Amino acid sequence: GAVVSQHPSWVICKSGTSVKIECRSLDFQATTMFWYRQFPKQSLMLMATSNEGSKATYEQGVEKDKFLINHASLTLSTLTVTSAHPEDSSFYICSAHRLANSYEQYFGPGTRLTVT
């Protein structure tokens, strides 16, 4: 299989605090992981591409100082939402791209972030 986990599945935090979301590929190595944001009844919005051992590449309009991404190993990437505000409330989903012989991305279950 190709299983991707995310933790936490949901989190509520106060405005001004930071929140870390973990994305792990459980049974395969992922050279590249992607972070998406999804608003209700809308499609996925790519935030950034994360490659193991190098800096993330952010999409236009995404603040890299606000959404810190670290891809420390071939199985773990983290997204930290710094100084969160209510407008950061959203559904965040990661995906992992498997190595060789496959171009598929496998998605995590998502993290629901609510900032009060």
Q: Which residues bind another protein (CB under 8 A)?
A: 2, 4, 6, 32, 34, 41-44, 46, 49, 91, 93, 95, 97, 102-110, 112
CB of 15 or CB of 22, closer to another protein: 22
State the residue for tokens 């891809």. Answer: 71
Q: How far is the CB of 83 from another protein (least distance, A)?
A: 26
Rounded distance, CA 73 to CA 97, Å? 13
Q: Using the minimum distance from each CB to another protein, give the nearer residue, 4 or 79.
A: 4
Specify the residue, 44 or 76, whose C-beta has the smaller distance to another protein.
44
Give the residue with the Cβ less far from another protein, 3 or 72.
3
**Closest alpha carbon to 116 in 18, 12, 34, 44:** 12
Least gap, CB of 65 to another protein (angstroms)? 22
